[in-house]
Structure 1
């Protein structure tokens, strides 16, 4: 399938130049294809992808655990260079921190493409925009075929949230900000909100935090919680290798699920594994006034029993986080660019780089020994 690549001003090509894409066609079938390289329409941004990471949700899609448009170009964690910006009579596009964008800028881009006009966007819930589109989740035959980072190029719609990355931040590490990093910052914000409302300080200052799941989300949550002032961060994960990396990220102690009770009586519990047992453990671990933030349950699973009396009498909060707002993209870049973020054990986190063909093999074979497969399209 090789549909015309459409932009806001129609179909265009750039002197016969082509983009190469890794096309998912259902099941574990993936193939590389070439399509004409489009010229950006008004306000659109054409990006050359420099690094991409295979997220767990990409693996879930190929394994059949979640619904997704098919065929499509997967991948929503990417870093790239701005090649061209379409004409815009009003103003030059700016990144989520307010800086004007220019050709040559290194950027990451949001998973979320929101309309900015509906009632949810007006209420600050653009993550649940009524007309939501998502990078790496759009049909190849639709109006946004070059949405996925598992390609040499992406074409971002007008008004899409992007963030420039500082020179000191490695492209591979920066790519994780676009999904894992920004989602974690939204989850940490949700965990801290009740304490702020209750006048008990800013952020997670002095908090006891439990992180369940030491994947990419859990690793960045551990680092982020410590950056926000958490006194302790206890991490639960069945994998000794992942627990080791979590300690390198700043965990004060780690354990296998059910191994001990040191994760009990916490102010905030972040459930990032998506397991029903993890959800139950997060709620059960809360001290009076504590908050459980569920961010890992992104595909169907078994129901979890909750004792409402324990929530009521303990003033406990259970909330969910899915997607994120533009400010969280800014915060994710700041975290990764901080000394703590740059000091993370990236050689253990990221695989050696692979091509698009290597990405196809990684998606077919399932999770490897690294938290992320690094792709250099």
Structure 2
């Protein structure tokens, strides 16, 4: 289903054939989820090439392989394997790839973000099939894990793994107090992951339903950032109450919403020697005040994380394979639409109460 511009319906386009080059894999999509970035693209909130095939969170099954096609673990890919794959296609040889930043490759291409072109028409998850190109991290997944759990691994879950990786390089996650701003898909995933690692998690989100969801994923306390200062639900008051109960000050903050005030809160409230990881600020926004003296005296580190590495994706899949029994990940997908109703899926995702909306790639009637 091809997006051609703001306000235009997605168009069904048939692709009569696919040429697999060495390292390429053809995957039949089992299930896809609508990421917030898909919605932002469709609404024109971000500059995007067009026409394009949206979608970069999906799980599928290998139906054809090119020569020398391998999974992240180095094993050859085979027809019939169930897989997820990275949002990024990287060259592996440029200076950024050699520095361990393949998600910022100088030759980078991204599923669900590139202009549809001859030779790579099947470039996004809102389709019956995706041509997974050489240079993409592919991870074989367990047959028993629900598709609703696995599909977000290639964006939301792997990004949270990358964020915690950036934080834990400076502050051990076990035993830390973690402040999470934003309780969408990334936020509740962060709650579960940090809780499982032995951290204490406090979540800030203005939406009451999302705050309740964060509690279900392990948060010990939730706060309403829109609450008046010095109220019982104000973030400062909640953290002060936890401190009286013996909970340490936050030394890890994950900012996942992109909201300016949330960024300010994370920077202002992080404890001595703490690290603030900015993840949600992927669109232009108002600047945030930064007091250099405060940063210096508190020994604060601010890091940015965008997308993730192949190792992060592999770790995300491993985590979900066990965590879906402990946490209600399968309940995070609300409405599910057939592929031919991808427009409705996007519209629902823009206003949905659930963190994700699903798409099943049932062939449109026009294609038989």
Q: What TM-score do you get using the length of structure 1 for normalisation? A: 0.88
- Choose from 149, 154, 166 the match for 1:173: 149
SS in 1 for 2:271: strand
Q: Does 1:27 align with 2:6?
A: yes
Q: Distance in 1 between matches of 2:335 and 2:35?
A: 15
User: For the Cα contact (< 8 Å) 1:204–1:229, is it kept in 2?
Assistant: yes
SS in 2 for 1:336: helix
| Structure 1 residue 347 displacement after superposition | 5.3
The answer for the alignment partner of 1:297 in structure 2 is 281
Q: Which stretch shows the higher mean deviation, 115-124 or 357-366?
A: 357-366
| Structure 1 residue 144 displacement after superposition | 2.6
Any idea what the Cα deviations from partners look like across 1:37-88, whole Å, max 9, x if unmatched?
A: 31422221000000000000000111111111111000000100000001x2
Q: What TM-score do you get using the length of structure 2 for normalisation? A: 0.90
Alignment of 1:108-119 (within 5 A): 108-119=84-95
Q: Distance in 2 between matches of 1:328 and 1:229?
A: 20
Unaligned runs of 5+ in 1: 1-21, 196-202
Q: Distance in 2 between matches of 1:305 and 1:43?
A: 47
SS in 1 for 2:14: strand
Q: Distance in 2 between matches of 1:347 and 1:216?
A: 12
SS in 2 for 1:190: helix
Alignment of 1:243-282 (within 5 A): 243-257=211-225, 258=227, 259-260=233-234, 261=236, 262-263=238-239, 265-282=249-266
| Structure 1 residue 142 displacement after superposition | 5.3
The answer for the alignment partner of 1:354 in structure 2 is 337
Q: Does 1:160 align with 2:136?
A: yes
Over the aligned positions, Cα root-mean-square deviation in angstroms equals 1.5
The answer for the alignment partner of 2:120 in structure 1 is 144
Q: Distance in 1 between matches of 2:275 and 2:118?
A: 40
Q: Does 1:222 align with 2:201?
A: no
Q: Which stretch shows the higher mean deviation, 139-148 or 269-278?
A: 139-148
User: For the Cα contact (< 8 Å) 2:337–2:344, is it kept in 1?
Assistant: no
User: For the Cα contact (< 8 Å) 1:96–1:329, is it kept in 2?
Assistant: no
Q: Distance in 2 between matches of 1:310 and 1:27?
A: 44
- Choose from 40, 43, 46 the match for 1:63: 43
Any idea what the Cα deviations from partners look like across 1:96-122, whole Å, max 9, x if unmatched?
A: 233331100000010011111111111
Q: Which stretch shows the higher mean deviation, 257-266 or 117-126?
A: 257-266
The answer for the alignment partner of 1:45 in structure 2 is 25
- Choose from 82, 100, 106 the match for 2:76: 100
How many residues align structurally? 343
User: For the Cα contact (< 8 Å) 2:15–2:121, is it kept in 1?
Assistant: no
Q: Which stretch shows the higher mean deviation, 212-221 or 261-270?
A: 261-270
SS in 2 for 1:266: coil
SS in 1 for 2:71: coil
The answer for the alignment partner of 1:344 in structure 2 is 327
Q: Which stretch shows the higher mean deviation, 158-167 or 341-350?
A: 341-350
Q: Distance in 2 between matches of 1:125 and 1:306?
A: 27
The answer for the alignment partner of 1:9 in structure 2 is none
Q: Which stretch shows the higher mean deviation, 264-273 or 302-311?
A: 264-273
Q: Which stretches of structure 1, 4 residues or longer, exceed 6 Å deviation after superposition? A: none
User: For the Cα contact (< 8 Å) 2:148–2:330, is it kept in 1?
Assistant: no
Q: Which stretch shows the higher mean deviation, 146-155 or 38-47?
A: 38-47
Unaligned runs of 5+ in 2: 228-232, 241-248, 362-368
Q: Which stretch shows the higher mean deviation, 137-146 or 112-121?
A: 137-146
- Choose from 160, 164, 169 the match for 1:193: 169
